[in-house]
Amino acid sequence: MVIIRTLKNGIRVALEEIPYVRSISFGIWVKNGSRNGRPHENGVSHYIEHMMFKGTENRSARQIAEEMDALGGQINAYTTKEYTCYHTRVLDRHFDRALDVMSDMLLRPLFAEGDVRKEKNVILEEIAMYDDAPEELVHDALQDSIWRDSTLGMPILGTAETIDGFGAEFIREYYEKNYHTENIVLSAAGNFKLDDMLEKLNAALGGWKREQPFQPYNTAASYQIAAVEKEKDVEQVHVCLAFPGLEREHPMKYAAAIFNTLFGGGMSSRLFQRVREENGLTYSIYSYTTAFADTGVFSIYAGMNPNQAERVFELIAGEMEGVKETPFPPKLIEITKEQMVSNFIIGTESTLNRMTSAGASLLLRGSVEETEEIIAKIEAVTAEDVLEAAKAVLRTEEMSFSAVGNLKGTDFGALVKRFF
**pLDDT for 126-184, tens place per residue?**
999 988 899 999 999 999 999 999 999 999 999 999 999 999 999 999 999 999 999 99
pLDDT of residue 361 exceeding 90, the answer is yes
pLDDT of residue 19 exceeding 90, the answer is yes
Quick one: pLDDT at residue 408?
80
Quick one: pLDDT at residue 219?
86
Confirm whether 219 is domain-assigned. no
Regarding whether 403 and 298 lie in a shared domain, the answer is yes
Per-residue pLDDT reduced to its tens digit, 174-217: 999 999 999 999 999 999 999 999 999 999 999 999 988 888 89
Q: Are the C-beta atoms of residues 104 and 59 closer than 8 Å to each other?
A: yes
Q: What is the mean pLDDT of the chain?
A: 95
Regarding whether 369 and 262 lie in a shared domain, the answer is yes
Q: What is the mean pLDDT of residues 11-29?
A: 97
Of 223, 141, 210, 218, nearest in space to 175 by CA: 210
Q: What is the mean pLDDT of residues 356-366?
A: 97
Quick one: pLDDT at residue 138?
96
Quick one: pLDDT at residue 409?
80
Quick one: pLDDT at residue 58?
97
Q: What is the mean pLDDT of residues 233-241?
A: 94
15-47 burial: b if 16+ Cβ within 10 Å, else e: bbbbeebebbbbbbbbbbbbbbbeeebbbbbbb
CA 211 to chain centre: 31
Q: What is the mean pLDDT of residues 2-28?
A: 97
Residues 6+ apart with CB under 8 A from 125: none
pLDDT of residue 33 exceeding 90, the answer is yes
Regarding whether 369 and 247 lie in a shared domain, the answer is yes
Regarding whether 250 and 378 lie in a shared domain, the answer is yes
Confirm whether 211 is domain-assigned. no
Residue at a domain's end among 172, 205, 238:
205
**Cα separation, 156 vs 48, whole angstroms:** 12
pLDDT of residue 86 exceeding 90, the answer is yes
pLDDT of residue 83 exceeding 90, the answer is yes
Quick one: pLDDT at residue 25?
98
Quick one: pLDDT at residue 387?
97
DSSP letter (8 states) at residue 56: B
Quick one: pLDDT at residue 212?
85
Confirm whether 135 is domain-assigned. yes
Per-residue pLDDT reduced to its tens digit, 214-230: 888 988 999 999 999 99
Confirm whether 124 is domain-assigned. yes
Regarding whether 243 and 161 lie in a shared domain, the answer is no
**Cα separation, 192 vs 74, whole angstroms:** 18
Structural domain of 121: 3-205
pTM of the model: 0.94
DSSP three-state, residue 234? coil
Annotated catalytic residue 334? no
Quick one: pLDDT at residue 211?
84
Regarding whether 192 and 290 lie in a shared domain, the answer is no
Regarding whether 239 and 195 lie in a shared domain, the answer is no
pLDDT of residue 81 exceeding 90, the answer is yes
Q: From the candidates 49, 82, 119, 319, which is the catalytic residue?
A: 49
Confirm whether 40 is domain-assigned. yes
Q: What is the CATH number of the domain that holds 272?
A: 3.30.830.10
Quick one: pLDDT at residue 261?
97
Q: Using alpha carbons only, what angle is made at residue 358 by residues 180 and 390, rounded to the nearest 5 degrees?
A: 110
Regarding whether 154 and 243 lie in a shared domain, the answer is no
pLDDT of residue 268 exceeding 90, the answer is yes
Per-residue pLDDT reduced to its tens digit, 313-352: 999 999 999 999 999 999 999 999 999 999 999 998 899 9
Quick one: pLDDT at residue 130?
87
> What is the domain count for the chain?
2
Quick one: pLDDT at residue 74?
94
Phi, psi (degrees; rounded to nearest 5) at 76: -160, 180
